[in-house]
Structure 1
Amino acid sequence: MTSTAFETAASNPIAYLDRIAATDLGRSYKGRMLDELDIRPGQTALDLGCGPGTDLTSLAQAVTATGTVIGVDHDQATVDAARERTADQHTVTVQLGDIHDLPLPNHTADRARTDRVLQHVADPARALREIHRVLRPGGRLVMGEPDWDTLTVDHPDSDLSRAYTQYVTDKVVRNSRIGRQLPRLATEAGFTVPSVIPITPVFRDAQAADKILGLERTTQRAMAAGYLTEEAAGRWLGHLSTGPFLAAVTFYIAVAES
């Protein structure tokens, strides 16, 4: 069971992150997160789970030459990429580190961001306690996370849509419902949460959605895990690749203050 309409091989992680950042959706939500950070010149800003440094330059521009930007990531390859991309920016440093045990002193930073990071970590509550520790009193954290339980993909057989989303929430993403949990977890970590901003992108083009959702790859895995039969998977992909397409998922931006 395969479809020629969708990608069958995953991009490498750095290429995937770059791809999302270059989309209209990526530029839009990242811009909103930057606005909510409300960075002032001279401040210290953290990008936790910075990946290949996609957002470090925009943070550096916001803190200006008098500020500091620190990127932290657990993966050496992405740290190396981020360091290479920001080598000419003297206000930016990138460190290898674990968000559960940040290599930073108490009350280091004025601002911090996490972008689609907490959905993957082992212990989001512990990570948020660490972020609270390194932020100065009155500091601000802005988090952006999808809630994969809200994923909707239209199909004439709604049972197939439910099975597909159930597989994503059960097996694909470690903390698949983290979007809705952000206010509670942040509050329990010692933050106040003055605002939560829902963003619900709607995809009308199957190929564009596939570049973010990996429709065929995920369907193949769902079939192997017993969430879809081979016949059902064929009907599912057949309609997605040929019929009118609509998919949506809610992405939450939560603003937290220390």
Structure 2
Amino acid sequence: MDAIRYMDTVAEHGSARAYKARLLDALSVRRWHTVLDVGCGPGTDLLDLAATGAEWVIGVDADPLMVAEARRRTEDYPAVAVHLGDARALPVADGMIDRARVDRVLHHVAEPAAVFAELRRVVRADGVVVVAQPDWDTITVDPGDVRVNRAVREFVCDHVVRNATVGRRVARLAEEAGFDAELQVTAPVFRDFTATDEILGFSRNVERAVRAGRLDCERAGQWLAELRTGRFLATVMLFTAVLRPGTR
């Protein structure tokens, strides 16, 4: 699955819509605000931010293809600007941002702590930042051999996702950067294997693990066959945080 379609698929899932709505509500955007979407991808959430009536919405992404698509999707919205940039060196001035969001971005970044330092630099003293980040080391499924589940999860954490466990570090990294953090942990539940396979990538990651010699082909095939038939459940811990610049 190409990256743009993958991001759109994730955003359309019911669990994603639910937490995105909570984060948007927590931002409490006002008409005079400048809002920043760090790692905006193809612009999946930029139009929702624009619909708040914010004076200015800025999207930043490090992938030129994502930036091009986000610009295409928002070309009829003069209050939205999309820039190519690094989350660790945001192309905005000090204290320029009233509200910011970072949604499922930190596991892609080499230095997540640097992202929080940049957010602290660009966000006003009375600003608000919302963060959403899954912890890939918590993926759990039923049915299936738990040993294969564990092997697949470990392979994903070791070889597929750059910072697989950054979700559990969100509050600490934010506080070390000078934010006060209000943290919430939820566990979205997935019951349809086909849709979940697109989002969590069981089939493609099992194939990678087999090719890498980390998983026996027969056991892997049996595990996937069990997941595809009968009742299915998967879950993963999602860490969401509302951050405000601290006074200390």
Task: State the TM-score, normalized to the length of structure 1.
Answer: 0.91
What residue in structure 2 maps to residue 3 of structure 1? none
Kindly state the Cα deviation for residue 24 of structure 1 after the two structures are TM-superposed: 1.4
- Structure 1, unpaired ranges of 5+: 1-10
Please show how residues 90-239 of structure 1 align to structure 2 within 5 Å: 90-193=78-181, 195-239=182-226
1:82 is aligned to 2:70: yes
Give 2:48's match in structure 1, choosing from 54, 58, 62: 58
What residue in structure 1 maps to residue 16 of structure 2? 26
What residue in structure 1 maps to residue 241 of structure 2? 254
Separation (CA, whole Å) in 2 of partners of 1:22 and 1:203: 13
Question: Secondary structure, in 3 states, of the residue corresponding to 1:101?
Answer: coil
Is 1:63–1:69's contact at 8 Å kept on the other side of the alignment?
no
Separation (CA, whole Å) in 1 of partners of 2:128 and 2:143: 41
Kindly state the Cα deviation for residue 247 of structure 1 after the two structures are TM-superposed: 0.9
Output one character per residue of 1:186-214: Cα deviation in whole Å (capped at 9) or x when no partner. 00111111x21222111122112112012
Greater shift after overlay, 113-122 or 16-25? 16-25
Output one character per residue of 1:190-240: Cα deviation in whole Å (capped at 9) or x when no partner. 1111x2122211112211211201211110111122321112112111211
Separation (CA, whole Å) in 2 of partners of 1:236 and 1:156: 5
Kindly state the Cα deviation for residue 244 of structure 1 after the two structures are TM-superposed: 2.3
- Which one-letter code corresponds to 1:137 in the other structure? A
Kindly state the Cα deviation for residue 26 of structure 1 after the two structures are TM-superposed: 2.1
Question: Secondary structure, in 3 states, of the residue corresponding to 1:119?
Answer: helix
Question: Secondary structure, in 3 states, of the residue corresponding to 1:40?
Answer: coil
1:35 is aligned to 2:25: yes
Output one character per residue of 1:80-106: Cα deviation in whole Å (capped at 9) or x when no partner. 111111111111111111111111110
Task: State the TM-score, normalized to the length of structure 2.
Answer: 0.95
Separation (CA, whole Å) in 1 of partners of 2:114 and 2:28: 25
Separation (CA, whole Å) in 1 of partners of 2:243 and 2:109: 19
1:47 is aligned to 2:47: no
- Which one-letter code corresponds to 2:78 in the other structure? H
Separation (CA, whole Å) in 1 of partners of 2:144 and 2:162: 29
1:73 is aligned to 2:61: yes
Cα root mean square deviation, aligned: 1.2
Is 2:144–2:223's contact at 8 Å kept on the other side of the alignment?
no
Change (3 A) 1:156 1:55: closer
What residue in structure 1 maps to residue 3 of structure 2? 13
Is 1:140–1:257's contact at 8 Å kept on the other side of the alignment?
yes
Separation (CA, whole Å) in 2 of partners of 1:61 and 1:203: 29
- Which one-letter code corresponds to 2:198 in the other structure? K
Output one character per residue of 1:6-56: Cα deviation in whole Å (capped at 9) or x when no partner. xxxxx1111111111122122111111101112122100000100111111
- % identity of equivalent residues: 49
Is 2:144–2:227's contact at 8 Å kept on the other side of the alignment?
no
Is 1:155–1:161's contact at 8 Å kept on the other side of the alignment?
no
- Which one-letter code corresponds to 1:204 in the other structure? R
Is 1:44–1:110's contact at 8 Å kept on the other side of the alignment?
yes
When the two structures are aligned, how many residues end up with a matched partner?
A: 245
Is 2:109–2:162's contact at 8 Å kept on the other side of the alignment?
yes
